[in-house]
Amino acid sequence: MNWKREMQLLETRRQFFGKGARGLSVAALASLMGTDAAAAPTGGLTGLPHFAAKAKRVIWLHQSGGPSQLDLFDYKPQLKKYHGSELPGSVRMGQRITGMTSGQASFPCAASMFKFEQVGKAGMWMSELIPHHKKIADDITLVKSVHTDAINHDPAITFIQSGSQQPGRPSIGSWVSYGLGSETQELPAFVVLLSQQNSINADQPLFSRLWGAGFLPSRYQGVRLRSGKDPVLYLADPSGIDREGRREMLDALQALNKIREEAYHDPEIDTRIQQYEMAYKMQTSVPELTDLSKEPASTFALYGEDARKPGTYAANCLLARRLVERGVRFVQLYHKGWDQHNNLPRDLALQCKASDQGAAALVQDLKQRGMLDDTLVVWGGEFGRTVYCQGKLTETDYGRDHHPRNFAMWMAGGGLKRGFQMGETDDYSYNIVSDPVHIHDIQATLLHCLGVDHKRLTYKFQGRWFRLTDVHGNVVKPLLA
């Protein structure tokens, strides 16, 4: 043993307190290391769920860029007569706008050029762009009065995913896997899928911190599955290494890590041990997961032929179903390309063509398998789009800027009413006139469906107790079944 090196390590604060903790009881150690040390066998916290859960798992379909509520769900026929006229100051009320339109001399209203139809028992208005959504109208809850605090993409996506506009907080998937653990030992509790298809314009980037664990132990971060030959990088064994040899190497490495963990009580050492074990199991579980050859023809008839192409939205929706079917707690699907500042009629149609069938098929698939009752599906972007046109307004073309004051989201399954809609906006889809639902309310309601009190799922970091909803958020009780 290099005793000089050991003494150097001892001088750091973490190792000093870790050494001092050797003689403490397990209970006292747990109190020093935070609630995580007292985790239940499944990886979740003891005492959770706080009450009977309606949902066991979540699939979040995030449409990155901000889908236009005006052209999809929030039908405003009266805008036809306002088309081309200036947005009244009494509607805008001096509210801030982005730098992309702040220099415009005029803010002409742009009515949607797409046809709408009332569908389902609740009479939801849906655009001709999403015909497959009309098949699930009686299975979803549509909220047309969601609002957020952020007006630009990165802070808005960070806010809806972590409860804060500032980077560094745990993502919602990390909070859920931290609190509730996993139903499987063969796959991560939190998995991320990315797709980009049909969009023409360059998209806003998606950073891995959006599915990061923040200040939670890193084992709670999302694991991204990629399309192509290697769904998870560096998962395959190098040439010449067989399964038995890999197991022996991991056993030896685990023994060394255990010695280190017992000496220094660093939770990241335990994370490292668990991640090595998970990677070993994923060497067999991931290839089986991504092999769609045993899916019947009826599956691809439901999801569409795009589901046969890895990386498409439809393929990722199908993978999401297969993931939750195998016990994954939280699946986050990001679909890029919804930022239509110009050429909206063309680009929005392309986005919907790529995603409409897959999203609707996911709900139908879960329902026919008896899984929709305890699976919560969420669809939406980080904000909506403005009623006024960005750029030049013509008879056949318009663009829309970011609009955080109101937008539409839908949810299905796990503890929510079906065929239900909530929230109304003014004649311009610019301001909410009834039943506003904040992003923190969406987060609180999602956790409630999972049996978690959002005020009690906390973690102490740098002397302060944090939670997903910060000091805000209320469960939207009218949405609950």
pLDDT band at 266 (very low <50, low <70, confident <90, very high): confident
Backbone angles phi, psi at 332, to 5 degrees: -110, 115
In a domain, 5, yes or no: no
| Lowest-confidence segment of 59-63, 101-105, 168-172, 240-244 by average pLDDT | 240-244
Q: Quick check: is 183 in a domain?
A: yes
Give the pLDDT confidence of 415-456 residue by residue, as tens digits: 999 999 999 999 999 999 999 999 999 999 999 999 999 999
What domain range is 475 assigned to? Answer: 34-479
Mean pLDDT of 199-207: 78
Could you give the number of structural domains in the chain?
1
Query: What's the pLDDT score for residue 202?
Result: 65
Three-state SS at 26: helix
| Long-range contact pairs involving 45-50 (C-beta distance under 8 Å, separation at least 24) | 45/178, 45/179, 45/180, 45/181, 48/179, 48/180, 48/451, 48/452, 48/457, 49/180, 49/450, 49/451, 49/452, 50/451, 50/452, 50/453, 50/456
Q: At what angle do helices 439-449 and 172-180 cross, to 10 degrees?
A: 20
**Residue 18 scores a pLDDT above 60:** no
Phi, psi at 335, each rounded to 5°: -120, 115
In a domain, 17, yes or no: no
> Distance (Å, rounded) from C-alpha 357 to C-alpha 26?
52
Residue 1 in any domain: the answer is no
Flag whether 419 is in a domain: yes
Domain membership of residue 353 (yes or no) is: yes
Q: At residue 395, does pLDDT exceed 60?
A: yes
Query: Which pair of tokens denotes residue 369?
Result: 């398998």
Per-residue pLDDT band at 68 (split at 50, 70, 90):
very high
Beta bridge partners of 461: 464
Two tokens, residue 153: 């993409």
Residues 6+ apart with CB under 8 A from 271: 217, 218, 219
> Between helices 243-264 and 13-20, what is the axis angle to 10°?
80
Check residue 7 and give its pLDDT: 42
Whether 412 is covered by a domain: the verdict is yes
pLDDT tens, position by position, 33-54? 344 434 444 779 999 999 999 9
CATH number, domain of 229, equals 3.40.720
> How confident is the prediction for the chain on average, in pLDDT?
89
Whether 93 maps to a domain, the answer reads yes
Q: Is the pLDDT of residue 19 over 80?
A: no
Range from 130-139, 255-264, 270-279, 380-389 carrying the lowest mean pLDDT: 270-279
Backbone angles phi, psi at 60, to 5 degrees: -105, 115
How far apart are the C-alpha atoms of 356 and 362, rounded to whole Å?
A: 10
Q: What is the CA radius of gyration of the chain?
A: 24
Q: Which residue has the higher pLDDT, 419 or 2?
A: 419
Please, are residues 377 and 366 in contact by the beta-carbon 8 Å criterion? yes
